[in-house]
């Protein structure tokens, strides 16, 4: 009897060891399935379309440039006061605790990089509070201090509540009230020196070339409109100012200066040779 019981126990043990691996092990070894991307938030596509539609719009034509705003010292200003240089426009609301501070800090980094690449007074920046009447001059000034913005070419502005829809629509900026604040695109608008919307930059952590590039193009275009030596030199310097992804900033590539010099020298030599050849008297045959 004991032998029979022992034999039965050995058969049971062998059957247990011969079973396949548990289902949990098989699932763990399977290739994980990537989750499907989330669809865009409702209204996001329309907001982006409205933002892109205003590129090329002249603020002077729409009368937006004459709307009266107030700076952090409660002094009246208009967007027309900023003509003559490229202008970067950012819409924020001071009660925001996440997107607006993050975007403003990233904009500060972009402004610093652009000033180093293009010049300290090459462009201006305005941040406009759209949550009226709460984003008054006092609140905008406090927000600027909280963000540690001390750039003399960067102003924080307020406007009457009645003018908010007209101004934001002119810049293609859409926002929707929510229980927690507002949903809106993280958007920067680049306006050229004549008051025409030239580009839109999106994202809370945009890449520096996305922001500096449009400003650089506008300044190069301004320099190309003049034929004096200073403008030519500025355009050459802008052409040679390139983004260094390793260092994360802009620098002047002096090798491009050498290439331009060699190209101009060769072209000048060819022109001189052709002029002399044309002036050389022909020998009669």
Average pLDDT over residues 123-147: 97
pLDDT tens per residue, range 71-86: 999 999 999 999 999 9
State if pTM tops 0.85.
no
Of 3.40.30.10, 3.40.50.300, 3.40.50.150, 3.40.190.10, the CATH number of 44-219 is 3.40.30.10
SS3 192: coil
Lowest mean pLDDT among 26-35, 160-169, 188-197, 263-272: 26-35
Q: Are strands 154-157 and 181-184 parallel, antiparallel or unpaired?
A: unpaired
Is 182 in contact with 96 (CB distance < 8 Å)? yes
Is 196 in contact with 56 (CB distance < 8 Å)? yes
pLDDT of 184: 86
Is 86 in contact with 215 (CB distance < 8 Å)? yes
Average pLDDT over residues 209-216: 91
pLDDT of 97: 87
Query: Is a pLDDT exceeding 70 seen at residue 258?
Result: no
Query: Is a pLDDT exceeding 70 seen at residue 257?
Result: no
CA 184 to chain centre: 16
Is 199 in contact with 89 (CB distance < 8 Å)? no
pLDDT bucket at 117, cuts 50 / 70 / 90: confident
Tell me: cis bond preceding 133? Omega within 30 of 0 counts: yes
Domain parsing of the chain, residue ranges: 44-219
Is 185 in contact with 43 (CB distance < 8 Å)? no
Is 159 in contact with 70 (CB distance < 8 Å)? yes
SS3 59: helix
């Amino acid at each position: 009897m004991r032998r029979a019981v022992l034999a039965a126990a050995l058969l049971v043990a062998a059957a247990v060891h011969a079973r396949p691996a548990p289902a949990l092990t098989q699932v763990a070894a399977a290739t994980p399935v990537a989750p499907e991307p989330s669809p865009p938030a409702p209204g996001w596509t329309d907001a982006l379309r409205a933002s892109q539609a205003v590129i090329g719009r002249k603020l002077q034509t729409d009368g937006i440039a004459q709307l009266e705003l107030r700076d952090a010292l409660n002094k009246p200003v208009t967007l027309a006061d900023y003509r003559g240089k490229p202008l970067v426009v950012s819409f924020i609301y001071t009660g925001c605790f996440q997107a607006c501070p993050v975007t403003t800090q990233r904009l500060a980094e972009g402004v610093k990089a652009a000033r180093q690449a293009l010049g300290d007074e090459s462009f201006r920046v305005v941040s406009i509070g759209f949550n009226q009447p709460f984003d008054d001059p006092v609140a905008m000034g406090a927000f600027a201090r909280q963000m540690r913005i001390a750039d003399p070419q960067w102003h924080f502005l307020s406007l009457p509540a009645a003018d908010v829809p007209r101004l934001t629509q002119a810049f293609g900026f859409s926002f929707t009230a929510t229980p927690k604040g507002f949903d809106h695109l993280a958007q920067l608008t680049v306006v050229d020196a004549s008051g025409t919307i030239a580009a839109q930059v999106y994202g809370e952590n945009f890449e520096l070339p996305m922001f500096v590039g449009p400003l650089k193009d506008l300044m190069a275009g301004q320099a190309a409109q003049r034929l004096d030596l200073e403008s030519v030199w500025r355009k050459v310097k802008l052409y040679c100012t390139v983004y260094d992804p390793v260092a994360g900033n802009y620098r002047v590539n002096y090798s491009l200066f050498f290439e331009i010099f060699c190209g101009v020298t060769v072209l000048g030599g060819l022109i001189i040779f052709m002029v002399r050849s044309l002036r050389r008297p022909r020998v009669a045959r």
